[in-house]
Structure 1
Amino acid sequence: MDIGRVFAVVLIGGSQFKVTAEDLIQFVGHVEADVGERIRLEKVLLVGGDNFSVIGKPLLSSDMVRIEATVVEKTLSEKKILFRFKRRMNYKRYKGDEVL
């Protein structure tokens, strides 16, 4: 049985991503795995293809679907600047943080 190109919608770090085989995704957040390790994506919302679709309510069970990914790169993103100001109060606060 040829099922064609299969896709899945997964939940990572509060965001939903539609992924297929050999896709690269980039998200902001912390992953416990090191570079090169395989991780299993547990929160799968939907799996589908040309002739079928399986929808979870709200998630699909982990014994029904298995989606794995490889960590390619972990890096810091650009600097996040926090600036607070109150007029006529001589109050200014500046803080620059690196976001993981």
Structure 2
Amino acid sequence: MFAVIRTGGKQYKVQKDDIIEVEKLAGEAGDVVAIDDVLFVNDGKKATVGAPVVKGASVSATLVKQKRADKIVIFKKKRRQNYRRKKGHRQNLTVLKITDIKAA
């Protein structure tokens, strides 16, 4: 059984016991997160496509940890102008372990 969920403006294909990194969600390690934004569910026999979400379907996950992604370096330069700007960014992420998928 697998499902396609939407969180943080992105879509993820998940199965039971998968570990995924998503945009930051509120909570601490060990918390249970319910994701109701389920776009597609397939249980092996029947596939259900939402319009836009599958009614009654949900995915349960355990919050494993909060972390930060690798640093991305932004470097701007204009030739012959002595104009250089260097900036860095690290995105906050949440690591989830999928524990259960409930179809409609």
Tell me if TM exceeds 0.5.
Answer: yes
Matched, 1:81 2:73: yes
Unpaired segments ≥5 residues, structure 1: 1-5
Comparing 8-17 with 36-45, greater Cα deviation is found at: 8-17
Unpaired segments ≥5 residues, structure 2: 93-104
What residue number does 2:101 align with? none
> Which of these two proteins has the greater Rg computed from alpha carbons?
1
State how far apart, in whole Å, the 1-side matches of 2:58 and 2:69 are. 30
TM-score by length of 2: 0.80
Relative CO higher for 1 or 2, CA cutoff 8 Å, sep ≥ 6?
A: 2
Cα shift at 1:35: 1.1
Matched, 1:26 2:21: yes
State how far apart, in whole Å, the 2-side matches of 1:71 and 1:19 are. 15
Structure number having the greater strand percentage: 2
Tell me which stretches of 4 or more aligned residues in structure 1 moved more than 6 Å.
none
What residue number does 1:95 align with? 87
Aligned length: 92
State how far apart, in whole Å, the 2-side matches of 1:51 and 1:44 are. 18
TM-score by length of 1: 0.83
Backbone CA RMSD of aligned residues = 1.3
Cα shift at 1:51: 1.1
* Percent of aligned pairs with the same amino acid: 32
What residue number does 2:53 align with? 59
SS in 1 for 2:12: strand
Cα shift at 1:48: 1.0
State how far apart, in whole Å, the 1-side matches of 2:58 and 2:29 are. 21
SS in 2 for 1:72: strand
